[in-house]
Homo-oligomer: A and B are copies of this chain.
Amino acid sequence: MAKKTPEKQTVSANDEATIPALTRSDLLTDDQRRIILTMMIRAREYDYAMQRLNRQGRAFGGVYSQIGNEATAVGSAYAMGDKDVLFPMHRNIGGHYVFGQDTRTLLLNQLAREGSRMRGTDGTGHYADPDKRIYGNISHLGSMIPVAAGYAMAARMRGEHIVTMTYIGDGGIQTGESHEGINFAAVQKLPMILIIENNQYAYSSPSHIEYACEKLSDRALGYGCYGITVDGTDIELVYETCKKAVEQARNGQGPALIECVTMRMRGHAEHDDFFYVPKETLEYWQKKDPVIRYENQIIEWGIMTREDIDALRQNIIEELRNAIDEVVELPFPAAEEGYRSVFVD
């Protein structure tokens, strides 16, 4: 009962042996691998850029890092089909990119500039972009799970075979709405995938404050749905696991709870210096860095060279810099927007 997922234990920093090799999925082509890596690097660099903006006092609102979560965010979203719908949470920049979102749109929202999809009414990843099949979250944790379930139910009513995917943390899954949403999806056998991003902490709270079970995917048994726990830093494993669950869900076999075990490598948001995380824990997870390890693996597999990857990264950084330079110069939305659209027509 007290025992947690193995990944949760603080491991000696020298213990490379505990780090398993990355999975090579038969379902992916090398072209796809290049795309996946691109998305991961984009997510990572977006994060670095936001950190910089935050330090410079040019970002405001909560700046939530997703470093450590790239494999989970990208791998899960990449497993979705091109009519499927994403309900991302606050550490899923990678998913936004996979679903075709561009950096400029993300920045406009996050920095609440004129032209933002939300007109400055809200920030971070809370926007919706129906054309890109992205519906962002609200702050209240778990609230989007019943919404993603209902979205899937509506599609099924119309005979559409789409799948919705949403996310929750090791903390957020303790909310009542999470429970009601998952149970509703299970009872209705809805094509909804819930990715549990178990990144060891909920704000400052380690897992034992949040739950007492061994694996959060153990909850699947009690809901009567498919559940599995995987290493959330192993991109192709995440992809393969989600792909299977997505196809199951699409075939009417109901929802899945997929726990991806990873680590939040920064504070809850940038204001938080995460003093409460043991240094050794971070050192251990540093070695499991999902982006760096995948880069190395891709090189090892002979798919790209270090030079290819460096060039790719430089491109991404350039793109980001240009987008930021443009967006930060834009004004905030006009004050009048505050009085508009409390209701739609």
Q: Which of B177, B179, B222, B225 contacts A221 (CB 8 A)?
A: B222
Contact with B along A112-142 (1 / 0, CB 8 A): 0000000000000000000000000000000
Q: Which of B1, B178, B180, B210 contacts A174 (CB 8 A)?
A: B180
Surface stretch bound by B, among A44-52, A158-166, A181-189:
A181-189
Minimum C-beta distance from A224 to chain B (A): 3
Inter-chain CA distance A224–B221, complex, in Å, is 13
Q: Once the chains bind, are B179 and A208 in contact (CB under 8 Å)?
A: no
A207-221 residues with Cβ-Cβ distance < 8 A to B are 208-214, 216, 218-221
Minimum C-beta distance from A16 to chain B (A): 31
Please give, as numbers and ranges, the residues of chain B lying within 8 Å of A222 by CB-CB distance.
Answer: 213, 216, 218-222
Using CB atoms, name the residue of chain B closest to A1.
B224
Q: Once the chains bind, are A187 and B175 in contact (CB under 8 Å)?
A: no
Q: Once the chains bind, are A254 and B212 in contact (CB under 8 Å)?
A: yes
Inter-chain CA distance A155–B175, complex, in Å, is 25
Inter-chain CA distance A322–B186, complex, in Å, is 50
Please give, as numbers and ranges, the residues of chain B lying within 8 Å of A186 by CB-CB distance.
Answer: 211-213
Interface size in chain A (residues, C-beta < 8 A):
29
Inter-chain CA distance A176–B175, complex, in Å, is 7
Please give, as numbers and ranges, the residues of chain B lying within 8 Å of A254 by CB-CB distance.
Answer: 1, 212
Contact with B along A216-252 (1 / 0, CB 8 A): 1011111111000000000000000000000000000
Inter-chain CA distance A213–B219, complex, in Å, is 10
A68-94 residues with Cβ-Cβ distance < 8 A to B are none
Minimum C-beta distance from A243 to chain B (A): 21
Q: Once the chains bind, are B187 and A211 in contact (CB under 8 Å)?
A: yes
The secondary-structure label for the interface of chain A is helix
Q: Once the chains bind, are B210 and A187 in contact (CB under 8 Å)?
A: yes
Please give, as numbers and ranges, the residues of chain B lying within 8 Å of A177 by CB-CB distance.
Answer: 176
Q: Which of B208, B214, B224 contacts A213 (CB 8 A)?
A: B224
Please give, as numbers and ranges, the residues of chain B lying within 8 Å of A224 by CB-CB distance.
Answer: 1, 211-214
Minimum C-beta distance from A200 to chain B (A): 16
Inter-chain CA distance A174–B224, complex, in Å, is 13
Q: Which of B189, B211, B223 contacts A223 (CB 8 A)?
A: B211
Inter-chain CA distance A108–B209, complex, in Å, is 44
Please give, as numbers and ranges, the residues of chain B lying within 8 Å of A208 by CB-CB distance.
Answer: 187
Inter-chain CA distance A336–B179, complex, in Å, is 43
Using CB atoms, name the residue of chain B closest to A183.
B174
Inter-chain CA distance A186–B2, complex, in Å, is 10
Minimum C-beta distance from A201 to chain B (A): 15
Please give, as numbers and ranges, the residues of chain B lying within 8 Å of A180 by CB-CB distance.
Answer: 174-176, 179
Please give, as numbers and ranges, the residues of chain B lying within 8 Å of A179 by CB-CB distance.
Answer: 174, 176, 178-180
Beyond the given A1-B224, A187-B208, could you list 17 further A-B residue pairs with CB under 8 A, ordered by the A residue number? A1-B225, A176-B180, A183-B212, A186-B211, A186-B213, A187-B209, A187-B210, A211-B224, A212-B223, A212-B225, A212-B254, A213-B221, A213-B222, A213-B223, A213-B224, A218-B222, A219-B221
User: What are the 5 A-B residue pairs with the smallest beta carbon separation, nearest first?
Assistant: A176-B176, A212-B224, A219-B222, A179-B179, A213-B224
Can you identify 15 A-B contacts, CB atoms within 8 angstroms?
Answer: A1-B225, A1-B254, A175-B176, A175-B180, A176-B179, A176-B180, A178-B179, A186-B211, A186-B212, A187-B209, A212-B254, A213-B222, A213-B224, A218-B221, A220-B222
